[in-house]
Amino acid sequence: MSPADPKMLHATLDDPLTRPFWDGCARGELLVQRFTASGNVVWPPRPMDPVSRTLEHEWVPATGEATIWSFVVAHPPLLPAYAEFAPYPVVVVELTDHPAVRMVGNIVAAPDAAIDSVDPATITIGEPVRVVFAEQDGITVPRWVRS
Amino acid sequence: MSGSVRVVFKDRVAVVGVGQTELGKGLPDSELLLALRAIRAALDDCGIDPSEVDGLSSYTMEPDREVEVARNLGLGDITFFSQVGYGGGGGCATVLHAAMAVATGQCNVAVAWRSRKRADKATRVWAQTPEILDDYLQWTRPPGLLRPVDEIAMLMRRHMHRYGTTREQLAEVALAFRAHAQGNPGAAMHGRPLTLDAYLNARWISEPLCLFDNCLESDGAAAVVLVSAERARDLPQPPVLVHAGAQGLPRQHNVMAAYFSDDPTSDGPSSAAAPLLWARADVAPADVKVAQLYDAFSPLVLFSLEGYGFCGRGEAGAFVEGGTLGPGGRLPTNTAGGSMSEAYLHGFNLITEGVRQVRGTAVGQVPDADVCLVTSGECVPTSALLLRSDS
């Protein structure tokens, strides 16, 4: 995963709603959005709480412990920046302390390792992982390593 | 069950004309011209003059706007026009909206259609993804979940884990539709039968899905014409009644990467559409003689079989074993070859094939096919239709 490659995809940092999530990643914290009135934790982030229909929310730290909910192994054809790592796995993880939160991400051998650094044949649904962070093109993203 | 609910349009509107262009790769016509050809053929099929058309129903992804279609075909004043979103989820809804408009008097002759030129690899939507994402895709695409097939493969892997569904069971879907295509000379995969061995040895696209779990990329167009059932009985073709229809956008849905709801392997879009569909109908899943189930990817067929109640949750793998969906099977499905072996028109060729089956004029005709279920895409806001013969 070359940071210099301009063709990797990234989330915007320009959305005031989601910026706290990315600022948390930059500090090494995995944050989830919790609405104040209901205590409801949602994913993905959004402006309104579907439970209380109110807007006030805060970003609270998660432990970063999770389990693998499902995974795929992507083979070509792919976007050029990703094709050079194919086949590579992509996982959905379920946060241990917030089971309603399932995040799409990469399982890697080390925080800065390539997206193909874990042999897909060894991945199993239900195995525990924990969050790590790595910078890509100026944005720090959560990734997952075996715990 | 219809006594407990107010049913406005049941059997009151009929599909009376169907039209379809050549389906294939590298067709010379523009999408607009393909649309015009398909609609003209559908109107010729029912003997209605284009100047009588006053209702138009299409997909939001349809590039050719109603104005272009209307002024080229010389349509009359249009009093109802509607577009349905979410790509392959909207096909049946275009017909449903047209039927509702005819039933409520907003128009008298409605046309629904889909035209699509997507055989060229350069037209792949996922390959045009912008590098900086500011919409819902920002939570799924950056780690490399780039294509629709990746999004569906994730849910299929979970289905396999939870219910024990196997690749051999998934292969039943691809093999059944390929077998149907052998009877349809217009199908892209006519003359190219598929074996289980070839399926199991095919190259991966996104594990656990292989090449043959994917639909084709095709050029072509298809259209249908709807009028009141009363008028339909005076037209040349046997009326195909719109018995029931429903849309479904389930709670806490996320388009395609549908992993964020409470229970993604059981609360998908069909779970929102099916209760209304069956509550409005005089028939049940056991009465369905032939089905056209949206098949951009083979897992979607399993999800629809469960969602529309042909089997219990998690049982679709076992349900399709032994050629259930194939020629002569218990539930012949995608009888012209479907999106995986005939052509991929965002599911609209499933609608035209459903009409032909109920008329009794399909090339792979199922005996006594008086009730047909047609579905649109799972994992996106969806829709479904029950078509029934007028007897």
Whichever domain contains B296, its CATH number is 3.40.47.10
This prediction's pTM:
0.96
pLDDT bracket for residue B127 (50, 70, 90): confident
What is the sign of the dihedral through the CA atoms of B355, B359, B364 and B365? positive
Strand partners, A139: A136
Distance of CA B168 to the CA centre of its chain: 24
> Which has the closest alpha carbon to B59: B387, B388, B381, B385?
B381
pLDDT digits (tens, 9 = 90+) for A59-111: 999 999 999 999 999 999 999 999 999 999 999 999 999 999 999 999 999 99
CA atoms within 13 A on the CB side of B353: 33
Q: What is the pLDDT of residue B185?
A: 97
Q: Is B134 within 8 Å of A7 when comparing Cβ atoms?
A: no
The predicted structure's pLDDT at residue B251: 95
CA–CA separation, B111 and B88 (whole Å): 18
Residue B371 in contact with residue B387, Cβ under 8 Å? Answer: yes
Domain boundaries, chain A: 14-61, 63-147
Chain length of chain B: 391
Answer whether residue B159 is part of any domain.
no
| % of chain B with per-residue pLDDT over 90 | 93
DSSP per-residue letters across B44-113: HHHT--GGG--EEEEETT-SS-HHHHHHHHT-----EEEEE-SGGGSHHHHHHHHHHHHHTTS-SSEEEE
Cα distance between residue B310 and residue A90, in whole Å: 32
Which active-site residues of B does the annotation give? 294, 344
Q: CA B267, CA B274: separation in Å to the nearest integer?
A: 11
A33 shares contact with chain B (CB less than 8 Å): no
Q: For residue B8, is it within any domain? A: yes
**Which tens digit of pLDDT belongs to each residue from B319-369?**
999 999 999 999 999 999 999 999 999 999 999 999 999 999 999 999 999
Answer for the pair B202, B231: CB distance below 8 angstroms, yes or no.
no
Question: Of how many residues is chain A composed?
Answer: 147
| Residue B13: pLDDT over 90 | yes
- From first CA to last CA, the distance across chain A in angstroms is 22
What are the tokens at B273?
Answer: 């559409």
Taking CB atoms and an 8 Å limit, are A70 and B208 in contact across chains?
no
How far apart CA B269 and CA B335 sit, in angstroms, is: 24
DSSP, residue by residue, B106-138: S-SSEEEEEEEE--SGGG-SGGG--SEE-SGGG
Q: What are the φ and ψ backbone dihedral angles of A145, each rounded to 5 degrees?
A: -120, 160
Q: Which residue of A has its CA nearest to B208?
A: A72
Q: Which amino acid is at A118?
A: V
Q: Looking at this protein, which amino acid is placed at residue A49?
A: D
Which CATH number does the domain A63-147 belong to among 1.10.3210, 3.90.700, 2.40.50, 2.30.30?
2.40.50
Say what the ipTM of the complex is.
0.96
Q: Rounded to 5, what percent of chain B is helix, strand, coil?
A: 35, 20, 45
CB of B127 less than 8 A from some CB of A? yes
* B144/A141 CB distance under 8 A: no
Domain containing B91: what range?
2-120+215-389
**B158 to chain A: which residues are within 8 Å by CB?**
69-70, 92, 125
